[in-house]
Structure 1
Amino acid sequence: MKRKWFQASACCVLLFALAGCGKTVEEQIDTGVASAQTVFEETPQHPNQTIGKIKLYVPSGFAVEETEDLNNLILKKGNESYLLFVNYYEMEDSNLHYKLLKNNPSSKIIKEQTVEFDGAFGFTAVTEYDEEQFELIVSSGGVKMSTISEDQNIDEKLVDMMTIVRSVDIVKENN
């Protein structure tokens, strides 16, 4: 009896492990890049936090850490850190971050996708960081977000990142 219970338990564990494997890294990247483009073209989420001059939507599970640099915020979700950079002087149609990526000879771009929609320019890119990690980058105009990630949930991370980036609004000072 114990042996049959053990075999049944082992089968359940094996099935659960195989089901968790899901998509390959390539599939996650392809899905994530395509989904991020869709998010870019949708109506941005309404900001739910204001940090300094930056209004942004922070999805559930994320926490924002202010930094001394007014152009950078660190967002955390679990043990993952995301760097949000806001260039106040770049317009929505700016492709500065994309040009910097493309002109960096050390960038090992695995996949990239640019998008122009309603006067705004953006892109999603995945680069090889090292043998086991990837740098995920999304940008909209002068706003860019990046993180270093292993091969898990890349598609979901890119969607969350683009959702955040597209929501960023700069608080205008009243004179």
Structure 2
Amino acid sequence: MSMYPSQMKAFKGAEPKTLGAVEIIIGTLTVTLSTIVYKLHYHIQREIIILILNGAQLLITGIVLVHAGRRPTKCLVGTSIVLQLLTAAFDIIGFGLMARHVPFRGESYYYRDTEFLVNGILGTLIGSLVLACIIGLVVALFGVYALSVSAIKEMTPIPNSTANPQYSAGGQTKSAVHAGN
């Protein structure tokens, strides 16, 4: 299913390839940093597993967004919108789970050596989750705009306009008939 030129222009206005690359970088960063925290502290492993899954989802969403930016179709844009909204929801969940552990306080002497490191990693993870959520919502809004408003503009005939040549002949004959009366 192809898109109208105005739809492609509206969707590409959001720079989907660039935002997809940023999502891939954030996903890789999230998986890497979450794995480090997973190895360091066993008592927050359930929350970290959710962040690792969120990072994997960010990678997949970024790959789909880059592909949709190269060759946008209605199916890819719709898939991208759904994935972006799911990613934003998981980012909000991950943000909520991580925010309650900052600042991190170790329960034993062993954890006190790594408190500064874990606080920095958790702060970075929270910042990247917020950025990924914002990117997801912006791309979803641009995708919905591209699929709806731009298609309406393309399909709506403008009388006496040369913008849509398939409608202009009917508009000119109609105005010629009215001019003769």
Q: TM-score range by the shorter chain?
A: under 0.3
Higher strand share: 1
> Which has the larger helix fraction?
2
When normalised by structure 1's length, the TM-score is 0.24
- Higher-Rg structure is 2
Q: Give TM-score, length-normalised by structure 2.
A: 0.24
